[in-house]
Amino acid sequence: MLRKKLLLVLGTLVTLLLAAGVGAVLMLQSVLSDLNHVIDEEVIGTAAATAIQAHLSEIESGLERVALPGEAPGTLDFGGSVADMQVQVERLRALEMVDFAARERVEHIQSGIAALTSGLGAGSTEATLLRDTVAALQGDVLALRDALRLHAQTQERSVTSRFRTVALVLGLAFVLVLNASIMVLARMSTMILKPVDQLVEASRRLAREEFGFRIQLDRKDEFGELARAYNSLAAQLQANEARKIETLQQVARTLNHELNNAIAIIQLQLDLAARSAGPDGIQADRLREIQQALSRMASTVAALTRVRRIVLTDYLAGVKMLDLEASSTDAPLDAAPPERSTVQSSVP
């Protein structure tokens, strides 16, 4: 379950990043394509206007030569120039960047070229009128070039503004995706680290034999299974410990009952022996030592009945014994003495 959640979250983040990247590429490609289109049309329009200007200059030079003395009028042929100017006009009319003002200039240039063609066919009798027509066309071409340049600048500013808008939108989108990724990853880290900390703390408590500790983790994933497994293990260990202590207490009660009966009889005999000993100090001391040993034995057996948990300590190398003092309290194991030695004494 947790694996599926992680895959789902990470897959969603990767999909968002890919979608943002693809969207950024497409938007930038659209803006750059529009910018290239504006530049290409500006180049085509400028080239067409320059070509028309060159042909008009050629025609103007030819008309000036016709006006010179001794020049034969029939030697001039501007058919190729006029045809090329008409082709350039068609190229200008096909441009998308030609707005209303520029298109009006193009139509005026086309009308002027038609008038120029008619005038050239009439011969040199209308040379002055033709020069005026050429001059008017040159003025229209210059105005057209200015209009094309102004329109191109306007389009470039528009595309640049779009580019800034796209860059701003993409920046905001990436910031949002990045913040969402950070929040999701922080949530995922909390979702993973919090149960891990609880499991680590539970393991430490289990090592200290605190079998009553339980993990409060109500989840339906791998961590929930680990928590339930730990709680089950702790409950089983707690039950086993309780059975051991109960068995030990039953044995202690049995020993206490039997030994107390024997100790009472021995104590009675010691009292009788002490009365019959008289003033003998050595015998009295020996009887006192026997009574003290019996008291220690009775207190030891009584301590067995107060055992609350099993705490072992070293007796000999490789041999363990029950630590009665630590086993009779609820204090943590760290507070109990780590080692206890057993002293054996012999009565002479």
Residue 109's nearest CA partner among 90, 129, 130, 128 is 90
**Mean pLDDT along residues 73-96:** 76
Interacting residues of 50 by C-beta distance below 8 A, sequence separation 6+: 145
Choose from 124-133, 180-189, 303-312 the range with maximum mean pLDDT: 180-189
pLDDT tens digit string along 62-71? 777 766 554 4
Output the pLDDT for position 280: 64
Q: Is the pLDDT of residue 335 over 60?
A: no
pLDDT tens digit sequence for 218-270:
888 788 888 889 899 999 988 988 888 888 888 888 888 888 888 888 888 88
pLDDT band at 109 (very low <50, low <70, confident <90, very high): confident
Domain spans of the chain? 2-189, 244-335
The mean pLDDT value for 124-141 works out to 75
The more confident residue out of 53 and 275 is 53
- Token look-up 């009574």 returns 291
On the 0-12 / 13-18 / 19+ scale of CB atoms within 10 A, 239 is exposed
Contact 321, 313 (CB under 8 A): yes
The CA distance from 91 to 98, in Å, is: 11
How many residues are given for the chain? 348
Angstrom distance (rounded) from CA 297 to CA 303: 10
pLDDT band per the 50, 70, 90 thresholds, residue 347: very low
Could you say which of 1.10.150, 2.30.30, 1.20.1070, 1.20.120 is the CATH number of the domain covering 2-189?
1.20.120
Q: Tell me, what's the pLDDT at 20?
A: 80
Rg of the chain (C-alpha set): 56
- The pLDDT value recorded for residue 236 is 92
Residue 342: its pLDDT value, please?
35
Q: Which region among 81-95, 136-150, 258-272, 315-329 has the lowest average model confidence (pLDDT)?
A: 315-329
Looking from the CA of 272 toward its CB, the CA atoms found within 13 Å total 6
Is the predicted pLDDT of residue 78 greater than 80, yes or no?
Answer: no
DSSP one-letter string for 100-135: HHHHHHHHHHHHHHHHHHHHHHT-GGGHHHHHHHHH
Q: Are 164 and 118 in contact (CB under 8 A)?
A: no
Question: What is the pLDDT confidence band of residue 277, given thresholds at 50, 70 and 90?
Answer: low
User: Residue 98: what pLDDT?
Assistant: 60
Q: Is pLDDT larger for residue 76 or for residue 250?
A: 250
Work out the average pLDDT over 23-49.
85
* Spatial contact of 310 and 322, defined as CB atoms under 8 Å apart: yes
The pLDDT confidence band at residue 121, using thresholds 50, 70 and 90, is low
Give residues with Cβ within 8 angstroms of 41, minimum separation 6. Answer: 95, 96, 97, 152
Over residues 171-226, the pLDDT tens digits come to: 888 888 888 888 888 888 888 888 888 889 989 988 887 888 888 888 887 888 88
When pLDDT is averaged across residues 155-169 and rounded to a whole number, the result is 86
278 pLDDT band, cuts 50/70/90, is low
Give the pLDDT band (50/70/90) at residue 344.
very low
Residue 100 is predicted with a pLDDT of: 67
pLDDT tens per residue across span 279-297: 666 777 788 888 888 888 8
